[in-house]
Structure 1
Amino acid sequence: MKTLIIIPAYNEEESLKATVDNLTAVVPQVDYIIVNDGSIDDTVRICRENQYPFLDLQANLGLAGAFQAGMKYAYRHDYDCVIQFDADGQHLPQYIPALEEAIKSYDIAIGSRFAVASKKLSLRMLGSDIIECAIKLTTGVTIRDPTSGMRAFNSRMIRILATNLNMGPEPDTVSYLMRSANASVIEVPVTMAERVAGRSYLNIWSSALYMLRMTISILFIQFLRKKVTVS
């Protein structure tokens, strides 16, 4: 299986090298590409100094734009599997082989913190539960960790995500693909580390808005979209 790890990076100068060093030490056989999402720090300098393969977006497009740029690269280079991987060190590369194995039988594999473990009581986990219920209501499938950013996609999903509009790596897109493209989804148990450095863009208010936006999108907006097409 020809696998590409896509690492979107926006102002990740403090954590990027440690993340890539760990990735290449654990799975040296897997290709990766960093997508610099218009960073204003030294992310690009670190990529160049260490000779990391990277795409350099001249403007900040957000996670959706950076992810789709990586998907277009994967599609053009005929990858069989793409794995979304955070630059902040929270995703652990030892789970990559399990995600690759799952993709042999499923369209999408989600690195799930709660496939076997219980969720802690918090506002963020309440939001996760609401999104889980919205997905269950609209697709009939239970996804215990819908907001996990560690996701793998097979070649069929790569083609769809690279050639259609508004295909960000979010729970509403996964839900849409399940309904519109009959995408099969499996959760692979993982654990995640704390952020290596830097600060997450999500705080309590932005997290609440994100959960609300995802829920509305899953329940209403995604039903207004046309069926996916493959070019």
Structure 2
Amino acid sequence: MTARAHLRRRFRALVAQFARNVRAAVIIEMAFAIPFLVLLGFGGLEIANLTLTHTRISQLGLNTADNASRIAAGSNLAQPQVREADINDVFAGVEKQAGNLHFEQHGRIILSSLERNSDGGQWIHWQRCYGDLNVDSSYGTEGDGQSGTDFPGMGPEGAEVTAAAGTAVMFVEVVYEYQPLLYGKWLGTRTIRSTAAFNIREARDLSQVYNPSPAATKSSCS
């Protein structure tokens, strides 16, 4: 057998052996599949984190409204007052509860005192805000409904929250810009919104928000 014939025979044997070997095909398949599986895994983590953040924002609104409804500063000789310092204390609890959400930088809480006006209509007596996100209330601003009965209350149209005579409802709106873990930009801009409302737990002085000395900084919405 000549050397050339031997080489041809050897080459055919190698080709036949390679054709029977499936390891290369598996490696190629894995090379295509692994990036997809990694993206799928991170996508699942991102969606899970988004869902958890929705829950945390909802709970944040509920707790803020509940805490605001419990404000009762004063003695047994007079009705409890609402003070700027007490409202600031409620907002201080927001950042502690929000934890790693960095809420002050990426969110805003709008706390409104919904009451009855002298004409029997609904009225946003006062409104305070916390957080750097530049958004306004979706349901009204301080002073809306001060007179008359045209202002329906706060909340989605047709399902507004209203206050009874002689009491107040602490209505809270939470707005938060979701911060993705890794590849969340494919989700697009995600603005999470939530609302909560609690009736005040006991009678209080509804005439004004007090700011005795030493004066506290007003948590203005402007």
Give the TM-score normalised by the residue count of structure 2: 0.24
Greater radius of gyration (CA): 2
Question: What TM-score results when the alignment is normalised by the length of structure 1?
Answer: 0.23
